[in-house]
Amino acid sequence: MTMPPHDVCYRALAARDPALDGRIFVGVTSTGIYCRPICPARTPKPANVRFFPSAAAAQEAGFRPCLRCRPEISPDAAAWRGTSNTVSRALALIGEGLLDGEAGVEALAARLGVGERQLRRLFDKHLGAPPIAVAQTRRILFAKQLIQDTRLSMADIAAASGFGSVRRFNDAFRKLYRRSPSALRRRRAAALSAVTLRLGYRPPYDWEAILAFLGARAIAGVELVEKDRYARTIEIDGRFGSVEVAPGRAQLMVTIRFPQVRALLSIVARLRRLFDLDADVASIGAHLSGDAGLAPLVLRRPGLRTPGAWDGFELAMRAIFGQQVSVGAARALAGRLVARAGIDVGAEITGDPRLSKIFPTPSRVIAADLSTMGMPRARIAALAALAEAADADPKLLDPVGTYEEALARLLALPGFGPWTAQYWALRALRDSDAFPAADVALLRNPAVLTKGRRPTPKALLARAEAWRPWRAYAAQHLWTSEMDAVHG
């Protein structure tokens, strides 16, 4: 397990140091409780504490969550991120609920293209707990958050957090917290029309940059970007809703409107990836600052994140739109597609009349007439081929197998070259090392020029070797610096 030395962890605990929040959890042997290192409770003696790399590891060791510091809202900024793509992809699938039903670790390993024993070893090495324990911890901590932060019924909370029945939920909760779920419920006078949750992260967080990036690409009717707000429509399994995100203190405030509570856990997992909430930007920035060209960019924006994507198919379509055109032109083309193939929904579903359209599914793209899109015929054919492939294989754009295998599936489709595939991997797969070296904006950035001359894609790739495993973040710094230069 990747852990700082015991004395370093204890000093962080004694100082309530937020730098290790999300990277370590503290088990107190005298109470049987585990906490975040920022817990306001009295600091225990060094002999009475154990440190764990994850909440699941602490619970596997027999500790129960603290009710004061609330481990369920801690940032997930484990130090190992960037070193194991297999674990990252496994956690993404667990976040989507793969282990909430009858599927076991064998099915998870098969989706990842690794052996079950190898997957267990990786989880033990990096998280200190097996995959099933990680999934169970995720369910119970999410349930705890819903109990305290919403007025959902216990039956809805059980369903939303992946429990098969209220009885199983009650039994698991009593076993862990030694009290009933209803004993923790905060009474409120008014019912909520939507679910509002807090999603933690490890500061700093460059909200301005991520909002500007998403705003420049926002599709009218589907997304809405304002000064302190991002909102968009969503569709999951044929049901419609919306999400709204606003900044808070070391957390994002998320409001979810969706008719099926079972989807809440998956929606939260997608939002964490979309807003890159689990990045340890201090470690990433320290690594990238070793490059003389990147160092001033990291200094200027120390909390910069790499925006993810809500949906892999949607981003793949938008990546095709972005080939050899400006960001604004790609945005306009995406808007034309939504006008032709999207679905109109009412404000009673989204909560905002400006959010009125749903990005089309593969089947709706297939049924639409794309001939008047105002694009080259080859690119229209690429859109159609992608839609047909994704409709035929719903798992085409899932993180199945290795990242290389996922990219190979894309590259086998017409219209997908290395730039498009790498850009898609950077945002949809959350591959921290993806790098579209042929990107024009990267090649012309002053930070990578050599004696005033642009490097070739091959030369830029060679230089980027030193940036691994964080090349995606290097690319984001370069893109953002160009945007800063344009807007002064």
Beta bridge partners of 196: 255
C-alpha span between 311 and 150 (Å, rounded): 26
- What is the secondary structure of 203-257 as a DSSP string? SP--HHHHHHHHHHTPPBTTEEEETTEEEEEEEETTEEEEEEEEE-SSEEEEEEE
Contacts of 394 (CB under 8 A, 6+ apart): none
C-alpha span between 17 and 48 (Å, rounded): 19
Burial class (CB in 10 A: 0-12, 13-18, 19+), 19: middle
300 dihedral zone (left: phi>0; alpha: psi -120 to 50; beta): alpha
> b/e string for 388-416 if b means 16 or more Cβ within 10 A?
ebbbeeeebbbbbbebeebbebbeebebb
C-alpha span between 178 and 358 (Å, rounded): 44
Question: At 13, which helix (H) or strand (E)?
Answer: helix 6-14
Contacts of 181 (CB under 8 A, 6+ apart): 143, 147, 154, 157, 169, 170, 173
C-alpha span between 481 and 484 (Å, rounded): 5
Place of tokens 């679905």: 343
Is 439 in the active site?
yes
Does a cis peptide bond (omega within 30 degrees of 0) precede residue 4?
no
Is 35 in the active site?
yes
C-alpha span between 197 and 145 (Å, rounded): 8
Contacts of 328 (CB under 8 A, 6+ apart): 216
C-alpha span between 266 and 394 (Å, rounded): 17
Beta bridge partners of 313: none
User: Quick one: tokens of 415?
Assistant: 């219209």
- What is the secondary structure of 354-420 as a DSSP string? T--EEPPPHHHHHHS--TTSSS-HHHHHHHHHHHHHHHH-TTTTS--S-HHHHHHHHHTSTT--HHH
Q: Of 212, 232, 485, 211, give the one whose Cα is nearest residue 356.
A: 232
- Our CA angle for 165, 171, 173, nearest 5°, is 100
Task: Determine which one of 9, 21, 35, 278 is catalytic.
Answer: 35
C-alpha span between 125 and 113 (Å, rounded): 19
Q: Is the distance from CB of 343 to CB of 358 less than 8 angstroms?
A: yes
Residues taking part in catalysis:
35, 439
